[in-house]
Amino acid sequence: MEQVDTWSEQQLAEPISFGYVGGGAGVMTRNEIVLHIVNCGTYHRGVVADMLYQVPVVPPVSDITVYVRDVVMA
């Protein structure tokens, strides 16, 4: 993460194209990618999603890459 500290605001806002593991194309800024990595490390959303599945309730999408694709980029 030391490299992130060296990036300018312009570099953080740069869009990066990638392919989803399940297929399809995605685009996120460097800033969004870093946020995704940090959030995945906390994993609180995964625990809550598991609890909702046990109720049973299908939880909303909690993956930032899917949110950016479906909400922000829509």
Domain count, the chain: 1
Domain residues for 57?
4-72
Note the pTM of the prediction, 2 decimals.
0.57
**The pLDDT of residue 1:** 65
Which residues neighbour 67 within 8 Å (Cβ) at sequence distance 6 or greater?
A: 61
Using CA atoms, how far apart are residues 33 and 65, in angstroms rounded to an integer?
Answer: 8
Three-state DSSP class for residue 28 = strand
Give the orientation angle of helix 44-54 with respect to helix 30-42, to 10 degrees. Answer: 60
**The pLDDT of residue 72:** 81
pLDDT, tens digit only, all 74 positions of the chain: 688 889 999 999 999 999 987 788 999 999 999 988 877 766 677 788 788 889 988 877 777 778 788 888 87
